Structure 1
């Protein structure tokens, strides 16, 4: 996701801490994932707000 929207991992974690990142899911190995549907919805909300 970070590569797709061209942000650093630290920026993503900053957004996540502020509650402005897309919805994340923690998988069994502890890594975070963002579903395509959640990313698209988040992106559209940001685009419409601009």
Structure 2
């Protein structure tokens, strides 16, 4: 079984079409996709978490 795809923050920002500052403001409000902090202080987002976040916001917009 393959490990889940992990996206780097710049990849997530490009997909969302937002700046790093806007993303972190959204994160501070508890509205951003779940982040995983690595021991080297980098962050990743699981593809499944980002897809679930998209789906949640599509449902609330409809």
Please tell me the TM-score bracket, short chain as reference: over 0.9
Aligned length: 50
Which structure: greater helix fraction? 1
Partners of 1:5 and 1:22 in 2: CA distance = 11
The gaps in structure 2 that reach 5 residues or longer are 1-11
The runs of 5 or more residues in structure 1 that have no matched partner are none
Using the size of structure 2 for normalisation, the TM-score is 0.77
Largest Rg, 1 or 2: 2
More strand by share: 2
Map of 1:27 onto structure 2:
38
Moved over 2 A (4+): none
- Higher RCO (C-alpha under 8 Å, 6+ residues apart): 2
Residue equivalent to 1:42: 53
